[in-house]
Structure 1
Amino acid sequence: MTGQPISDAELGSVFEAAKWAPSAYNVQPWRFVYAKRNSSRFDEFLRLQDQRNNQWAGKSSALVIVFAANYYQYKGRIQAQILNAFETGMACMAMLLEASGRGLVAHPIHNYNQTKTRELLNVTEKSHQLLTFVAIGRRADPVNRPYEPISKRHQVKEFVFRDTFVNTDPTGADDC
């Protein structure tokens, strides 16, 4: 990423893509809190990151914190939201694809201080799951980009099974 700014309209289009992700009962449990580069909140968000993430987060144009609501109201009743992380993941994928389609980079980040993030934004574990950060920015010229080897991926046969489930749990927890 280059650290160059992105417009509110560009960022808005990325969030607009999330709006259209599938959601049971149209609950849309995803919640995004963002800060743009050169703001005090951006610097606060950056300090929540593990130092290793700064190669992406430190050069991003915006940092987004992703939450999933644990409850929703339907027909006047408050109910537990059991698909919240799944649906929020689909919304994030929509954001990542939209960003890529616009020539931006959107990089999910896992290593951050969850406790300090919750304290900074006053979000409880009871109300929302804290899922990830996403660094969004302009793609760096390949010559100036740090080398990032393509990560090894599982073969499809390792996670797709026909007619029966194959336990791949390394702990053997489901062994009968």
Structure 2
Amino acid sequence: MADWWRSGATFRGFLDDRDEFWRSPDGQRLQAVHEAAEADLQAWLAEQPGVVIHSHGGYVPEQWEGQVDGHSFYFRERDTEWDIEIDRRPSGWVMRSGDTGNDDGTTPNQRDAIVEGDVIATGRTTAEGYGDSPRERAAFIVATIREHLTRQACTHPGLEALAAVLGVPARWCPTCGIRVRDQGVTREP
């Protein structure tokens, strides 16, 4: 029978096996490692002014939400690829969602607002600095957001003076590191 996995007894068995694992020495070791990593993250966050993590976790996908320097953010990594959105806001769209149902047996017709932000960075988990621990991941997310914000705010000061010294138009902003030819800041040589 194809529906064997849907039975309540099968699901209860799965939950019992899971609970037994977490009580085992291996489960206790994994839990201690997780708790130490979380304590390391919290210690790092305590030293980061302007950074608040509202939630983080998951494996498929891994997701983080919070604020960096007053900008809301959402990070999502799945199957070695990640995205970072900032300045999240309602998109004007809603999606239907439901839960396990009401006590009277009916299913609620709930609609949740879809929240989106500006995608400021995408990449793969092989990116430099991506890290393996929650603290390293948080540092990567925060650094990526702050780099974006710095570049957005940069007025590229001193490009003319730099061009005069070099004898050619500047190709990179010495302040923020952005390629200025692509930004229309200087003319092509």
Greater helix percent: which structure?
A: 2
- Relative to the length of structure 2, the TM-score reads 0.27
RCO greater where, 1 or 2, for CA within 8 Å and sep 6 or more?
A: 1
Greater strand percent: which structure?
A: 2
